[in-house]
């Protein structure tokens, strides 16, 4: 669901992250129970993997994407990242389990200019109204140059 206030549109992550995080916790509990019965190094490794997956999905669930007139802001419990529209290089959809938006952009130099020699990326969580967000970002990304015709 998205919320709009004073030209800031907020996109919330899909609820599937809660299900996946819960599945990770359930698998971690099962691994913990198996370790309690009989210690096994492989089960311990799987326990850490399940906890990592649950934490990753939890971070995505608690994040949000805010879009205003000048750019976007990704806020997660681990921090926030701001990308202005003038920095955008491309916005594409990727992923298998969850389709996410991957934004590539040029970072800003200390003087405020774009560093065209450097290209970075940020992966936005899967959000409600994903196609609306993707279309908005693609409108602000530069269009590829058309090849010259030899006519």
pLDDT of amino acid 127: 94
Per the listing, tokens 């969850």 go with: 98
Look at residue 110 and give its three-state secondary structure. Answer: coil
Q: Which residues of the chain fall short of a pLDDT of 50?
A: none
Domain at 2-12+65-140: CATH code = 2.30.29
pLDDT of amino acid 150: 66
Asked whether the beta carbons of 70 and 81 are under 8 A apart, the reply is no
pLDDT of amino acid 122: 94
Cβ neighbours of 123 (radius 10 Å): 13
Integer CA distances (angstroms), 100 to 95, 122, 133, in order: 6, 10, 11
Cα separation of 81 and 63, whole Å?
11
Question: What is the DSSP secondary structure assignment for residue 39, as one 8-state letter?
Answer: -
Integer CA distances (angstroms), 101 to 27, 47, 111, 147, in order: 28, 29, 29, 27
pLDDT of amino acid 106: 92
pLDDT of amino acid 97: 82
Compute the residue count for the chain.
Answer: 151
* Closest listed residue to residue 21, CA positions, set 45, 73, 56, 70: 56
Question: What is the DSSP secondary structure assignment for residue 46, as one 8-state letter?
Answer: H
pLDDT of amino acid 146: 60
Q: What is the pTM of this model?
A: 0.79
Question: What is the DSSP secondary structure assignment for residue 68, as one 8-state letter?
Answer: -
């Amino acid at each position: 669901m998205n919320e709009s206030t004073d030209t800031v549109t907020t996109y919330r992550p899909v609820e599937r992250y809660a299900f996946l995080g819960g599945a990770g916790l359930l698998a971690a509990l099962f691994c913990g129970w198996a370790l309690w019965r009989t210690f096994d190094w492989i089960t311990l490794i799987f326990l850490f993997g399940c906890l990592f997956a649950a934490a990753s999905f939890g971070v995505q669930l608690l994040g949000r994407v805010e879009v205003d007139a000048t750019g976007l802001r990704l806020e997660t419990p681990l921090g926030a990242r701001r990308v202005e529209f003038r920095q955008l290089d491309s916005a594409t959809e990727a992923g298998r389990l969850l389709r996410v938006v991957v934004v590539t952009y040029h970072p800003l130099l200390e003087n405020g200019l774009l560093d065209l020699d450097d290209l970075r990326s940020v992966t936005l969580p899967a959000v409600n109204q994903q196609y609306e967000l993707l279309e908005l970002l693609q409108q602000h990304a530069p269009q590829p140059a058309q090849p010259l015709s030899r006519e």
